[in-house]
Amino acid sequence: MTSVSETVTPVDSSLTPYQFGPKAKGTIPRGLTLAAVLIIVLILAVIMFNIILGGIGVISWEFLSSPPEQGMEAGGIFPAIFGTVALVFLMVIAVIPFGVMTAIYLHEYTRPDSVTTRLIRVAVNNLAGVPSIVFGLFGLGFFVGFIGSGIDSIFYEPGRPVWGQPAIIWAALTLSILTMPVVIVSTEEALRAIPRELKEASYALGATKLQTIIRIIIPQAMPGIFTGAILGISRGAGEVAPIMFTGAAYYLPYLPTQLNDQFMDLGYHIYVMATQSPDVEKTKPILYGTVLVLLVLTFLLNFVAIFIRSRIRTRRVHA
């Protein structure tokens, strides 16, 4: 009988039945990650296709430039577009200075192990986890009920609310508190990325700490600050719960021209048409069109912030 020699691959006896070999350790995680990415992209593609298919038919210049009519079963959404853009700009103007100053204080003026720093970080982390409806109730009680009513009681006649009522300024301030943790965290990350040698060189040339912050640290951290603004815009533009109590209106025949005016908002407009319309099926095309406009508007606002950030980076590289 002829013996046949067989080549047998040695088995690593050090591996337990629940451990993978070196190749499997790299292949399986990559495959799982790729599958997760494909699932997320597929879900996003289905949602976007559904929104575009349902809303592209109503998009026209008349739809974008006229107010709602016939109980919001006809007409356009221009007041809601204007109100959303104004709200986002006021929110960014309010949140960026306070968020940046808080991040600079935590990074430049406090010790990481101090009690004050720990309390501030705990507060920021907890603020990021508060439900948005709670921010709306806070804005109603603090901004409208306390600050606004306090201004009315000092400067205006009693019984005639001017600031002690829902208004676009109170809605913007409420959203600024909602998005402030994002700005603080992104700004701190940008500050940590600044080379220490730049600050030491500034101090060596005789600059004070304030001069170093204004002329060195903030310009170097501007891309990170704009990253926080982009993330804040992405979240704040679609929020409904915080502005329901602080300024958004069901319908307005005029545009907000003063800080104490109420306003229409695309997100709130979508909520109203989906839940309070007398004929949901009839308003469904307008509803899909409004959702599509809100997505495009959010993308445009983000694109503007990204463009400004890229220009700042380019100037800093060529400087």
CATH topology of domain 79-318: MetI-like fold (1.10.3720)
pLDDT value for 184: 92
Strand partners, 69: 74
Instruction: Give the closest residue to 88 by CA, choosing from 297, 308, 310, 314.
Output: 297
Model pLDDT for residues 238-269, shown as the tens digit of each residue: 889 999 999 999 888 789 999 999 999 999 98
pLDDT value for 4: 44
Q: Which residues of the chain have pLDDT under 70?
A: 1-25, 316-319
d(CA 220, CA 215): 9
Strands (E), the chain: 68-69, 74-75
Give yes or no for a contact between 290 and 310, defined as CB atoms under 8 angstroms apart.
no
Give yes or no for a contact between 107 and 218, defined as CB atoms under 8 angstroms apart.
no
pLDDT value for 2: 46
pLDDT value for 6: 46
Put simply, whether the predicted model's pTM sits higher than 0.85 gets the answer no
Instruction: Give the closest residue to 76 by CA, choosing from 58, 88, 53.
Output: 58
**Using the 8-state DSSP alphabet, how is residue 263 labeled?**
B
For the chain, what are the domain ranges?
Answer: 79-318
- In the chain, the amino acid numbered 65 is S
Greatest Cα pair distance in the chain = 115
| Residue whose tokens read 């808080």 | 102
